[in-house]
Amino acid sequence: MRVLGIETSCDETAAAVYDGERGLLAHRLHSQVELHARYGGVVPELASRDHVRMLTPLVEAVLEESGTRENEPGSSLTGIAYTAGPGLQGALLVGAAFARSFAFARGLPAVGVHHLEGHLLAPMLEPEPPAFPFLALLVSGGHTLLIAVEGVGRYQILGGSLDDAAGEAFDKTAKLLGLGYPGGPALAALAEKGRPGKFDFPRPMLDRPGLDFSFSGLKTAVVVAVRGLHAQAGAELDEQTLADVARGFQDAVVDTLVAKCARALQQTGAGTLVVAGGVGANRELRARLQALGRKAGVKVSYPRPEFCTDNAAMIAYAGWTRLEAGQSDDLEIRAAARWPLDSLQGTNG
């Protein structure tokens, strides 16, 4: 099977081609970061319009690059996968309508993919993919989840954030420090120049049992600290102080995520930990989880950083597993802003 994957759930337009025998053949992405930067966040209507503008050229590019030809056995598409949710409704609809029509015109099956399933399966595109079952830490702009993954579509949520997602906390704190939008990667880069221990922020929920997270209190602690610094130093904070605050914040988030992963590994007895989602690109988090894995005798598996953040390669792959298992949708155009991950169907794979 050769599958075209399409991702338009938020502010990235992406297309990819995955081939069951030859693996990932092409993937392209257009980021809308510049479009939304001056508004300080994603403007849904602008996101949808830009998906309309970019989708056709990106799809043409990946079909060309992968050597995909219509009606040529072995090199033609056999199915289409698109992100059907969760995400921004209008943005999802652009990808869904495009993908469904593209499939209909060619008489191909189409399947709507859950965006988080895409993230969870992204490490399968790496040279040493993890084996089922595994424990997954899914940390993105919208979610912070610990999930027991038994197989494709078989997901049990063990814990999640009660308020802000980890990526959201990174973005909001970055904004507070004047790092613009989207701030997560900029905050992480600044934290690398910061000195550890200069700011000791709370490690939320560590003193409580269970596997849930909470990041809004930490964000407030940073707000209070920064206000205090401004009161002392006036309007401008120097670069080193900002870096120290960033370091204190990142260390608190990473400590919390690592401690809950350790607890979940102990509870489940899982032998593999998969880290997925945009915050999974964070170098400090990757290094600390790697160290945890060595200590606990657990294999830690990540997608390459560009497949931690949103992309279409993971959607093409997730769609391929479902099409390969004989699953596809009817002619409906599926776009669901909300879609519980634990309501998916398995593939017995």
Residues that bind ligand KG4 (CB under 6 A): 140-142, 167-168, 170-171, 182, 184-185, 188, 277-279, 281-282, 309-310
- The residue number with the shortest CB distance to ligand KG4 is 184
Q: How far is the CB of 257 from ligand KG4 (least distance, A)?
A: 11
Kindly tell me the burial class for residue 224, based on how many C-beta atoms sit within 10 Å of its own C-beta (0-12, 13-18, 19 or more): exposed
User: In Å, how far are 18, 116, 226, 278 from 128, measured between CA atoms?
Assistant: 17, 21, 43, 20
Q: Residue 155 and residue 147: Cα distance in Å, rounded?
A: 6
Q: Which does 301 bind (CB under 5 to 8 A by kind): ligand KG4, Zn ion, none?
A: none
Smallest distance from ligand KG4 to CB 306, Å: 10
Task: Show contacts with Zn ion in window 308-337 (CB under 5 A).
Answer: 310
Q: What's the min distance (Å) between Cβ of 8 and ligand KG4?
A: 12
Residue number with the shortest CB distance to Zn ion?
Answer: 310
182 binds, among Zn ion, ligand KG4, none (CB under 5 to 8 A by kind): ligand KG4
Residue nearer to ligand KG4 on the CB measure, 123 or 184:
184
Q: Does 13 bind Zn ion (CB under 5 A)?
A: no
User: 282 touches which of Zn ion, ligand KG4, none (CB within 5 to 8 A by kind)?
Assistant: ligand KG4
Percentages of the chain per state (helix, strand, coil), in multiples of 5: 45, 20, 35
50 binds Zn ion (CB under 5 A): no
User: Applying CB under 5 A, which of residues 13, 48, 140, 301 lies at the interface with Zn ion?
Assistant: 140
Q: How far is the CB of 228 from ligand KG4 (least distance, A)?
A: 25
What does the buried/exposed string (b/e) look like for 74-92 if buried means 16 or more CB atoms within 10 Å of the residue's CB?
eeebbbbbbbbbbbbebbb
Binding partner at 317 among Zn ion, ligand KG4, none, C-beta below 5 to 8 Å by kind: none
Least separation, in Å, of the C-beta of 238 and ligand KG4?
A: 23
Q: Which residues, numbered 219-258, are part of the site for Zn ion (CB under 5 A)?
A: none
Q: Which is nearest to 121 in space by CA: 160, 91, 77, 81?
A: 81
248 binds, among ligand KG4, Zn ion, none (CB under 5 to 8 A by kind): none
**Which partner in Zn ion, ligand KG4, none is near 281 (CB below 5 to 8 A by kind)?**
ligand KG4
The owner of tokens 């598409």 is 77
Residue 322 gets which letter from DSSP?
H
Which residues 6+ apart lie within 8 Å of 20 measured at CB? 1, 2, 320, 324
Q: Token digits for 234?
A: 């006036």
Query: If binding is defined by CB under 5 A, does position 32 make contact with Zn ion?
Result: no
Q: Shortest Cβ distance from residue 27 to ligand KG4 (Å)?
A: 14
Q: 9: helix, coil or strand?
A: coil
User: What's the min distance (Å) between Cβ of 308 and ligand KG4?
Assistant: 7
- Give the tokens for residue 116: 């988080």
Closer residue to ligand KG4 (CB): 199 or 307: 307
- Tell me, residue by residue from 100 to 139, as one string, x for binding to Zn ion by CB under 5 A and - for no binding: ----------------------------------------
**Amino acid at the residue 35:** L
d(CA 15, CA 17): 7
- Is 184 strand, coil or helix? helix
The torsion of the CA quartet 13, 19, 23, 25, rounded to 10 degrees, works out to -50
CB under 5 to 8 A by kind: which of ligand KG4, Zn ion, none does 185 bind? ligand KG4
Residues in the chain: 349
Taking the C-alpha atoms of residue 94 and residue 102, their distance in angstroms, rounded to an integer, is 12
Q: What are phi and psi of 332, to 5 degrees?
A: -60, 145
Shortest Å distance, C-beta 100 to ligand KG4: 22
Q: Please state, in angstroms and rounded to a whole number, the distance separating the CA atoms of residues 68 and 269.
A: 43
